[in-house]
């Protein structure tokens, strides 16, 4: 396991640009933005890699307080692995201290699942990260549900959340940010017992 002084790298996955901002595929960016606001910080362009970053701390004062780098890869979802790997190398982050926050089709809307390692389940952002650095990073999976009827998956994930979904979106994003904080400060098992609904 990793050195206790090593930072955590939290990568919210999404696509850059205002046209994608409210897409289901961009929920990772939404969670990262909220975490940055909680830290009282604004994203800036990274010196290394194609990403926006915030450096700060998460957790209460004392031993549970953790140094974190929040990142939003600006390379488009399907090639997230390059920017995340560049940040991992630049900040010397062990792979088991990397957290990908992403949308998940096979979980009902708003449901969270936290895990370490595993497959990509057809998610191109995870596929790119796993290809770049192996599968042994944490995932905070934010359920978006399956597309209705015969809608193609690609169309569904690149559509904005529906007006019904948006009524609860802030609550679910807030809960996902809480789950990330719990993962980083309390460890995977405790975070899973609190947030894996």
Active-site choice (25, 102, 123, 138): 25
* DSSP-based three-state secondary structure for 46: coil
Catalytic residue status for 138: no
Report yes or no: 102 and 53 within 8 Å, Cβ to Cβ: no
Q: Nearest Cα to 116, choosing from 15, 192, 12?
A: 192
CA 124 → CA 27, 103, 117, distances in Å? 15, 11, 15
Residues with catalytic function? 25
């Amino acid at each position: 396991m990793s050195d206790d002084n090593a930072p955590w790298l939290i990568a919210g996955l999404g696509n850059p640009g205002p046209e994608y901002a409210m897409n289901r595929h961009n929920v990772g960016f939404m969670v990262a933005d909220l975490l940055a606001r909680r830290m009282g910080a604004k994203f800036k362009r990274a010196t290394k890699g194609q990403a926006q970053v915030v450096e700060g701390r998460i957790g209460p004062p004392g031993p549970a307080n953790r140094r974190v780098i929040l990142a939003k890869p600006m390379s488009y979802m399907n090639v997230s692995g390059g920017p995340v790997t560049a940040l991992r190398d630049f900040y010397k982050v062990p792979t088991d201290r990397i957290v990908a926050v992403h949308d998940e089709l096979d979980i009902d809307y708003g449901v969270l699942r936290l895990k370490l390692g595993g497959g990509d389940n057809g998610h191109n952002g995870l596929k790119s990260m796993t290809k770049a650095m192996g599968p042994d990073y944490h995932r905070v999976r934010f359920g978006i549900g399956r597309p209705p009827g015969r809608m193609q998956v690609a169309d569904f994930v690149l559509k904005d959340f529906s007006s019904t979904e948006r009524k609860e979106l802030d609550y679910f994003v807030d809960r996902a940010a809480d789950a990330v904080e719990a993962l980083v400060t309390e460890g995977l098992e405790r975070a899973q017992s609190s947030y894996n609904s």
